[in-house]
Amino acid sequence: MNKILVNATSCKIGGARQILEKFISEYKKPDELIILAPKYIKLNLPAESTLIVKETKGIGTLLFSLFGVIYYVLKIRPNAILSFSNINIFYPFIKRITYFHQSKIFTAKSLRFKVFRWVIKFSLLKRNLFIFQTSFVQSKFNQVFGNSNSIICWPGVNHPPRYNINTNNEDFSILIPYGIARLPQKNFAFIENIEWRMFSKIKALYVVSEGKSLQKKLVFIGNKSRDEMNVLYENTDILIITSVEETICLPIFEFACTGKPVLVLNAPYTQGLKEDIKIPSNIIFSSAENFENKLISITKNYDCFCSSNSSELKKMKHSSWPEL
């Protein structure tokens, strides 16, 4: 039996947490997983697996992933280390697998991300396997750092229940699942620049983030658990994503699994999604210029933008993790 050390100390919220929980729930290999993760992560641990509570953030994640994790390597003696922190242990004499899911590393100018780029370039391009979510991210990575030993792996989707869709709805609510809405890459300013009071059919836009807005229809509701997100998916009618920089943005596909429409602002990462994934018919991409008109069309012809093809949605549910 192989012993795999999983470094997930930074997987607190958002896509990283969802991907970790999905990975653990679907891991069926006869291996022993030793998982370093925050205490509030919900994990259905496989047999012979152990959770060690450990949480890091910011520069602490960087230092722990490079050096702090060495303590656990020496103590546990794993066959491999799988890191969800975008970088991995500096020590090359162990099998290293690095899950890359942070597109800011490509361009961010802060010292932390400059160190990330230096470590990747000089420590991880050899004797390490990178896992990317799409061919777009893989291609961008290779452009920035050079060719890497890597594979593409669809992370799977937490499949919410398929709800009854009210196609006679004349009063719509919108969900914006951003985690931290004010991050520049989330492009929340695009949403705030829309005069939502002019949309008579839209009663509220619920923002899954801490914060506030001067527009009454923009309601910040804080971060939510997986069960709470499923309730929001049930009780809202449309999901909007306006991010300009993502690796995959899982809420797009989670909400699409309900059969309800998802409106996504075109961005470079969305082209990668279109190339790698069969996009369900209820995921609608739009330019910035046509975004408001497209949203009006959705509210006027709501049932036409919903998907009744459950088979194409179910294909997104399962992940394609490699042998570790």
Q: What are 285-300's pLDDT values in tens digits?
A: 999 999 999 999 999 9
What pLDDT band is residue 248 in, cutting at 50, 70 and 90?
Answer: confident
- Domain 3-152 architecture: 3-Layer(aba) Sandwich (3.40)
Higher pLDDT, 314 or 228: 228
- Tell me the DSSP string of 179-222: ESTTSGGG-HHHHHTS-GGG-TTEEEEEEEES---SSTTEEE--
Q: Which CATH number fits domain 172-314: 3.40.50.2000, 3.40.640.10, 3.40.50.300, 3.40.50.1820?
A: 3.40.50.2000
Helix (H) or strand (E) holding 172, with range, is strand 172-179
Q: What are 257-276's pLDDT values in tens digits?
A: 888 999 999 999 998 888 88
pTM for the structure as a whole? 0.85
pLDDT of residue 220: 96
Q: What is the mean pLDDT of residues 55-67?
A: 92
Q: Say what percent of the chain tops pLDDT 90.
A: 54
Least Cα distance to 65 among 93, 48, 88 occurs for 88
Residue 81 has pLDDT above 90, yes or no: yes
Q: What is the mean pLDDT of residues 210-229?
A: 90
Q: Say what percent of the chain tops pLDDT 70.
A: 95
What gap in Å lies between CA 222 and CA 286, rounded to an integer? 27
Domain boundaries, the chain: 3-152, 172-314
Strands (E), 68-127: 80-83, 95-99
Q: What is the mean pLDDT of residues 78-93?
A: 92
Residue 56 has pLDDT above 80, yes or no: yes
Q: What is the mean pLDDT of residues 95-109?
A: 91
pLDDT of residue 58: 86
pLDDT of residue 298: 95
CB distance 317 to 254 below 8 Å: no
Higher pLDDT, 41 or 134: 134
